[in-house]
Amino acid sequence: MGDLFAPSHLLLILLIVVLIFGTKKLRNIGSDLGGAVKGFKDSMKEEQNKPTELPRQEQAAGSTIEGEVREKQHS
């Protein structure tokens, strides 16, 4: 029987994929996938750099916004 992933099998699969999709489309797919992976890594780095503790009550004190609640008018 032989190996399931012999080099000749992999080359044949690669040739079929190139014939079906074409090199330009494969290049676009590769660059899109690379951009997505890069964006994911960047967002993971940003998430690690964020502070994990919540601000204390004294630090989080802000101003109060006053307003008026009106009933919703049905049309």
pTM: 0.44
Q: Where are the domains of the chain?
A: 22-50
Q: What is the mean pLDDT of the chain?
A: 81
Q: The tokens 């690690």 sit on which residue?
A: 48
Q: Is 26 exposed, middle or buried, given 0-12, 13-18 or 19+ CB atoms closer than 10 A?
A: middle
In tens, the pLDDT along 46-71 reads 888 776 666 565 555 567 778 887 88
Please give the Cα distance from 46 to 44 (Å, whole number): 5
Each as own residue / partner, the long-range contacts of residues 52-55 (CB below 8 Å, 24 or more positions apart, any chain) are: none
Q: Which helix (H) or strand (E) holds 10?
A: helix 7-21
